[in-house]
Structures are given as C-alpha cells and as structure tokens.
Amino acid sequence: MPTIVADLALEASLRAEAITLLQGLLRLDTQTPPGNERIAAGWIAAVLDREGISCDIVEAAPTRATIVSRLRAASPTDRPVMMMGHTDVVTVEPAKWDRDPFSGDIVDDFVYGRGALDMKGQVAANLAVFLAIHRAGLPLTRDVIFCAFADEEEGGVYGAEWVWNNHQELIDAEFAINEGGGEPIMIAGTQFIGCQVAEKGSCRLKLTAHGTPGHASVPLAETAFRNLGVALERLHAWEPPTVIVEPVRAMLETIADVLGGESRALIAEALATDPPSWAPLAKLPLTDDELRSLHARTRNTVVPTMIHGGSRINVIPSEIVVDVDGRTLPGEDPEAFRAAVQAVVGDAATIELVIPATGTAADVESPFYDAIRATLARISPEAHLMPTMSSGGTDAPLIPGVKVYGFFPFPPSDRMPIYEPLVHGHNERIHVDDLAYATRFIHDLIATFATS
C-alpha cells in the first residue's frame, strides 16, 4: 500500500524539494510586462523531464508560455483535478528591497524574492506535490494536472483565458486548487481559515470628463477639470446597494454557526430583509480592515486608480480620462453595472466598459470542498474552514468550466502581519515553515482526493 498521507520522511522531502524549486523559480525574472514566462515554463519542463514526465508548453504570443502536465489515472472514474498557478510576477522597485528580488536567498528562514507569495511559492509546492505523487505511483482514480499559466497579473489574455479558448483539452479538470485563499482569520477569538470559493469580476471602466478646451490664462466655467471634480465626488459619495451572493451567505452562515450568540443574531438580522441590510453586519466583531473587506464583498465597487489628464500646463484639456477599477459580484451583468455607474456620475462624465467582467462562484457543497475540509480537520483540527469570496483578480473566472478553489493554507503564526504588505510590495518573502505546511497540505489533499 503506497503512502497517501505524507509521513515524516515524505514531509521532509516535500519541504526540501519545495524550497529548492521555489528558489529556482524566484531566480527567473518573469516580471510582467513583458512576462517572458517561457523561461519559467522551460525550467519546469526540465524538472519534469528529469523525472520522465512529459508536458505541453503553449504560447499565446512569443515568450508568453503556459506549461501543463498530467499524471494519468489508469482507469479514471472521475474527471481530473488540477493544481493551477501562474509564473508571472509584478514588477519590483529594486532600490526599495533589502535583498536582490531575484536571488531566492534564504535569510533567517525566509525565502526572498518577487513571487514568493504571489505565487511562485504555490507553484513550487504544486510542482513538489506533483513529483511526489508521480514517484509514489499512486493508484489514481482521476488524472492530476499541473498547470502554470502566463499573464495572470495583467489579466490573463495571454494566459488562462487564451488556454481555455484554445487548448481547453489540456485543462479539462472538474476541480482545481488555486491561489487566493488559505489565510488564517481570527474572528472574536475563533480561528477560521478561508477557502476562496468565489471571486468578484475585475470589470475595468473608463471615465471621461469632457469640457471646453482653451488657454489656461482665461478661466472657463465648463471645463473637463470641473466635471472631473464633480464626477470624483459623486463616485466617492456613492454607497452601492448591499447584495449578498451565495458564497458570501455561506461564509456568513459559517461564521454564525461557529460564533453563535450576538454574531448569529446580527447575521440573521442582515439576511432577513430584502434587500439585505448592511447596518447589522457593521456591528460584527471585526476589525476595520475586515469590515471594509466584508463591505466590498457585499456590493459592486468602483475605485478610480489612474488619471493622466492634460498635456501642457497652459492648456485646458478638452477631456480627462480616469481608469476605474470596478469589481462586480458573481452574476452581475457588466453592462448593467456600467449603467449604474453612469447614473451615479450623471452628466459630469461618460462611463465606458473597457474590460467587461463578472464574478465567478464554485459550489460550496462539493466533494472537493469536503476534501479540503477533511484535510484541514486532520492537519489543523483547531481551525474552521470558512468559504470566502475574494474581491477579484485571479485566473479562476477565465476557466469557467472548472470549479476553482483558492486555497494555499498558512498555519496561524505571528508571521501573518509580516506578510500583509508584501504581495505586490517590497521584500516579498515566505517562511520555509509556511511553505512546507502548505506543500504538505496540498500533497495530502490531492493524493487523497485523486485516489478516492
């Protein structure tokens, strides 16, 4: 009988291999743009090749490579399960780092490098698990797919979206584990760990304020800047209506069940009305950040993030364009969302859809979610699994036929506050114990689930 749940020896070997793989991946500069994920795909392919595992590398554009590999079940009884990730990383400001962001150096048990958390750490863990399952020769009842996409950070057009549209057969999984969840959440002294079962859509809008152009020496009444001010004030004053989608309802019900007492009453009160009421939720025993996060998950949101208006100091421009990051709930119609934002800004600006997107939701009642819960109960029995919906931004919505669960679990530790500013920030790093914990977790989850 082969080892399915990792014993101490396998745990040690998974740990060592994940660290080595992560260091190797961090040394590859896959900042996007331009991405150049081909160097990561080629590197992974060489690792697989040493073990006699074949793979497919597909490119949406030159150098924008996605790598997919598969361990086949001899007589599959179910559809595949996939460990997915992306190899591109966001850019760095090297001067702000204490360490070379592409060194993979280990300092005080932290592996440093861009992508350590987002998400070469998980790619390395997935790869270590994939190799271990291959070596163990487990009696698979479904195929296990390893996939590392290109172009997640810039929207997936050259990555997950393209692969789904052009090579769907490579990633025809029923379930997938992805980035996005796994963070420990302490609520009123109770330990939860989030599993991301849904996410909002990143629905990019363009706000254009128009006005009379002219020379800046003569003030004009109806300028683009005047309208910009009005539009920004209206956007910031807007309180979008509260909407509670199914995954958020499941999350709130999990919290209510575990916490009981006043929290249960507040959640019941919020859910009792139609439309639901925000006021009771605002009284939950949450930190300000957690409340804001819950607020964002119970409505569509709009945040203006980029403006490059005007061309010269002495010219009143005829228009100013603002890029607006919109986040839509699962099920939201992007055009209806656009129209709602247009109604908010009124005649001060026009609102266009640049990237229409809606959210995505996987089922909370599924054998894979149950498997995650069971694995967690065995490895960290004190933690309660809580379904969560992220506010968007992973590849999950781009592969709509796959039920994607975001889960890269961290054990509760005093390191969590350290990690908070690191994703997309400076000095990104992961502690080797955390990498090892998640690697073991993913191993046990996939080894169990794919053999059951």
Partner 1 sequence: MTDYRSDDALAQSIGEVAIEHLAALVRLDTTSPPGNERQATDYIAAVLAAEGIESVVVESEPTRANLVARLKAENPAGRPVMLMGHTDVVAVERDKWDQDPFGGDIIDDFMWGRGTLDMKNQVAGQLAAFVALKRANLPLMRDVVYAAFADEEVSGTLGAGWVYEHHRELIDAEFALNEGGGGQVEMGGARFYTCGTGEKGQSILNVTFRGKPGHASTPIPDTAMEKLGIALERLRAWQPRLTITEPVRALLETIGSALGGNDQAEIRRVLALETPVWDDFADLPLSDRDRSRLYAITHHTAVPTLVTAGQRINVIPSDVTLGIDCRLVPGTTPEEWRQEIAGVLGEIGEVELVNRNAGVVFDPHSPFFDAITGTLTDLVPDARLAPTLIGGRTDAAWFPDIKVYGFYPMLPVDRDGAYDGTVHGHNERIHIDDVRFGARFAYDLVAGFATSTS
Amino acid at the residue 120: K
> What distance in Å separates the CA atoms of residue 21 and residue 26, rounded to the nearest whole number?
9
Q: Whole-number minimum distance, CB 312 to partner 1, in Å?
A: 6
- Shorter beta-carbon distance to partner 1: residue 34 or 213: 213
Selected binder of partner 1 within 265, 272, 282, 315 (CB under 8 A): 315
Q: Does 306 bind partner 1 (CB under 8 A)?
A: yes
Would you give the binding string for partner 1 spanning residues 61-90, x where CB under 8 A is met? -----------------------------x
Selected binder of partner 1 within 5, 136, 243, 307 (CB under 8 A): 307
Binders of partner 1 in range 413-442 (CB under 8 A)? 424
Angle of helix 8-26 relative to helix 432-449, nearest 10 degrees, comes to 120
Selected binder of partner 1 within 67, 316, 386, 402 (CB under 8 A): 316
Asked whether 335 and 236 are in contact (CB, 8 A), the reply is no
- Shorter beta-carbon distance to partner 1: residue 298 or 439: 298
* Closest-CA residue to 151 (of 102, 68, 201, 86): 86
Would you give the binding string for partner 1 spanning residues 202-241, x where CB under 8 A is met? x-x-------xxxxxxxxx--x-xx-xxxxxx-xx-----
> What distance in Å separates the CA atoms of residue 46 and residue 66, rounded to the nearest whole number?
14
Q: Does 314 bind partner 1 (CB under 8 A)?
A: yes
User: Phi/psi class of residue 364: alpha, beta or left (left: φ > 0; alpha: ψ in -120 to 50)?
Assistant: alpha
Binders of partner 1 in range 181-200 (CB under 8 A)? 200
- Choices 27-35, 103-111, 247-255, 304-312 (CB under 8 A): range interacting with partner 1: 304-312
* Closest-CA residue to 425 (of 196, 155, 101): 101
H or E stretch covering 376: helix 367-379
Q: Whole-number minimum distance, CB 91 to partner 1, in Å?
A: 9
* Closest-CA residue to 388 (of 294, 269, 299): 294
Q: Does 318 bind partner 1 (CB under 8 A)?
A: yes
- Choices 38-46, 292-300, 380-388, 431-439 (CB under 8 A): range interacting with partner 1: 292-300
Q: Whole-number minimum distance, CB 223 to partner 1, in Å?
A: 8
Asked whether 249 and 271 are in contact (CB, 8 A), the reply is yes
* Closest-CA residue to 407 (of 450, 343, 364): 364
Selected binder of partner 1 within 72, 79, 292, 373 (CB under 8 A): 292
Q: Whole-number minimum distance, CB 98 to partner 1, in Å?
A: 20
- Shorter beta-carbon distance to partner 1: residue 136 or 344: 344
* Closest-CA residue to 362 (of 119, 171, 174): 174
Asked whether 385 and 250 are in contact (CB, 8 A), the reply is no
Binders of partner 1 in range 343-362 (CB under 8 A)? none
- Shorter beta-carbon distance to partner 1: residue 17 or 152: 152
Indicate the Cα dihedral angle 396, 402, 406, 409, nearest 10°.
-150
Q: Is 320 helix (H, G, I), strand (E, B) or coil?
A: strand
Q: Whole-number minimum distance, CB 354 to partner 1, in Å?
A: 9
Total residues interacting with partner 1, rule: CB under 8 A: 55
How do 106-107 and 81-86 pair as beta strands?
A: unpaired
- Shorter beta-carbon distance to partner 1: residue 39 or 216: 216
Binders of partner 1 in range 88-107 (CB under 8 A)? 90
> What distance in Å separates the CA atoms of residue 249 and residue 243, rounded to the nearest whole number?
10
Q: Does 313 bind partner 1 (CB under 8 A)?
A: yes
Q: What is the length of the chain?
A: 452
Peptide bond into 119 cis (omega under 30): yes
Peptide bond into 76 cis (omega under 30): no
- Choices 118-126, 166-174, 180-188, 323-331 (CB under 8 A): range interacting with partner 1: 323-331
Q: Does 338 bind partner 1 (CB under 8 A)?
A: no
Asked whether 297 and 247 are in contact (CB, 8 A), the reply is no
Q: Which residues contact partner 1 (rule: CB under 8 A)?
A: 90, 200, 202, 204, 212-220, 223, 225-226, 228-233, 235-236, 292-293, 295-296, 301-318, 320, 323, 325, 327, 390-393, 424
